[in-house]
Structure 1
Amino acid sequence: MTYEVYDDVITLRLVQEACKMLDVSSEVVLKLFGEYFFSFCKMSGYDTMLRTLGGNLVEFIENLDALHSYLALSYQEMNAPSFRVEWTREGEMLLHYYSDRRGLCYIVPVPGQDDPVCHNCNNRSRLPQSPFPQLRYPALELPFS
């Protein structure tokens, strides 16, 4: 990992160029980048730290803000999103995603059959059927029953 923080304008320009070259949507490029970034973090020595965030997906998500606060000590320019889990009366989990970095929400891996975060948490028995979330800026809500 480097301690370089790139302006979101550069990131979004890179995403746009990748979309043109690959003839795919920005959501696809950002989703793939998010999956790669999670794997890259694990390969870069953060795998143990990621495993300590929780024994299941809910615990993992609930501890992400604490991880981001810890990482901000080293990556002082980091502008990480915030996450909150809410349970509905129907027993679904809503994942709230908050960020002032408009346009980057698709980087967050969506819990699903091939999601690296779910595999990391060994929580494959309670995965949602739909791989795509309902998006509302600034919150991302993912039904998870």
Structure 2
Amino acid sequence: MKRTLLLMRHAKADVGHGEEDFDRPLNDRGHLQAANVGRMLAERGYAPDHVICSGSRRTRQTLKGVLHELGLAGSPEVDYADEVYSAGPDQLLEMINRLDPGAETVLVVGHNPTIAQLAAGFLGDDTLTRYAPATVAVVELEVDWLYAAPGTGTGEILN
């Protein structure tokens, strides 16, 4: 079974005006970015059947915009995990390794530097410099989720 991992950095968020970082919302540009990513994924035929999403406000809003454009607002299983907010690449990879083996396409919506570092592990070091808000990397894995790790697939930055 083919496995596809989509690693997405949340869309552009407000700078913050007194709220905690975890609670920062998307700005207008971020809402547009999320919708654009959803359309791009739809055009390329990517429809996640499982999502791991940080519990932060901006990642939830990003995911909502992406799924709306994909027409999947209620269908993929979504794990909102507050630990994604502060996880490093190794911890995030452990969450991926524990995914249901039946999942074929997984979208992870998280934060930098972790998302960029994990993508760089799969795609190469230059990935780190190209991971602006709303960036998505696609990794086509050659192994089950349990064995997913850098070197087990190939991929590219989509936008």
Verify same fold: TM over 0.5: no
Query: TM-score, normalization: structure 2?
Result: 0.27
For CA contacts below 8 A with separation 6 or more, give which structure has more relative contact order: 2
Structure with higher helix content? 1
Query: TM-score, normalization: structure 1?
Result: 0.29
Structure with higher strand content? 2
Larger radius of gyration: 1
